[in-house]
Structure 1
Amino acid sequence: MYKLLLIACAFLISGCPGPRDYFPRIWPAQISIKDGKPCVTVQPEGDEKVRSVMIYEMTEMNNQRRFESEPYAVRDDECLDMNAYPFRLNTAYVISVTLISEKKRQRAYYKSARGFVTRFRLSEGAHGLQVEEVEPEPPNWGLPARSSDEFELISPEQQ
């Protein structure tokens, strides 16, 4: 009985997700070239406004720039305001956009914000600037957890 109680407590304390836990859905944002610049569009619903735009270079996810101002309305065919970011050729980017609904937030609706993400690389093509959507690289499980970690293989004779 004690072992069963111990196992049950471990599941309750661990915080594992349950059947009614909320996992936010990430929606795809669209990327295109408009007027010689990258153009990211999202699909707002109702009173949703753009709360923040975060731009990461995919190779160094810590190298980011966040554009956050007063929430502003945007149409589904309108480009997000990213003119201040200096995009470079042959660099992979991740753009994350957060839309927020003030009406849903006032009603304490837990899904008052939605996230959109796109991943792309800019390159120079025959007809000018072009965009190529990319997928994130899968983790390399053969590498140490941190670059400072070093692992040594120990042979049975050394044990």
Structure 2
Amino acid sequence: MMMSKKFVVIALVFFLSGCPGPMDRLPVDKPANVIMRDNQLCITAPTRPGEYVSSVQISDGKDNNLRKTFNKDPIKVSNGQCLPTLNYDFKTNHNYVVYYNIEGNNFDKTKYFSVEFSIDRNGIHQTSPLSEK
């Protein structure tokens, strides 16, 4: 009898805690990369043909935030191409985090890419893990 009470309590804890399971839709960020290309900040992510950017979010952790979704005119991207930064004013001595939602055909799930970096007088320093090429 005591064993079944313990089992019930443990089972209730798991059910009530909201632990993620196989049907939960929790986005998993995949790493992107940031480099300088042609004297411009360039963020890249591993993409496949036919994929497109459906939203961009850029933040410096303060008040300079930008969020843009492309419902009607998504931006097509190819592997190795710089992802759009929407003329965001990146400044030295700031830390940034950038998120991209990249979608494909109706059968693919949305991919969530992110990159964290800082800029100083010596250049760009990526603080998040590098993506696979």
TM-score when normalising by structure 2:
0.75
Between 1 and 2, higher relative CO (CA 8 Å, sep ≥ 6) is seen in 2
Deviations 1:90-122 (A, max 9, x none): 101001111012322xxxxxx610011111111
Distance of 1:34 and 1:28 partners within structure 2: 19
CA contact (8 A) 1:123 1:131 kept: yes
Question: Structure 1 residues 6 and 49 mapped into 2: Cα distance closer, same or farther (>3 Å)?
Answer: same
Provide the residue aligned with 1:121 in structure 2: 118
Distance of 1:5 and 1:91 partners within structure 2: 51
Residue identity in the other structure for 1:85: Y
Matched, 1:35 2:38: yes
Residue identity in the other structure for 2:102: L
Residue identity in the other structure for 1:72: I
Deviations 1:4-43 (A, max 9, x none): 586234432332234x355443211110012222110111
**Structure 2 regions of 5+ residues with no counterpart?**
129-133
TM-score when normalising by structure 1:
0.64
Provide the residue aligned with 2:131 in structure 1: none
Provide the residue aligned with 1:68 in structure 2: 69
**Structure 1 regions of 5+ residues with no counterpart?**
105-110, 136-159
Larger Rg: 1
CA contact (8 A) 1:47 1:103 kept: no
CA RMSD of aligned residues (A): 2.4
Aligned to 1:38, what secondary structure does the other structure show?
strand
Percent identical residues? 27
Distance of 1:5 and 1:79 partners within structure 2: 53
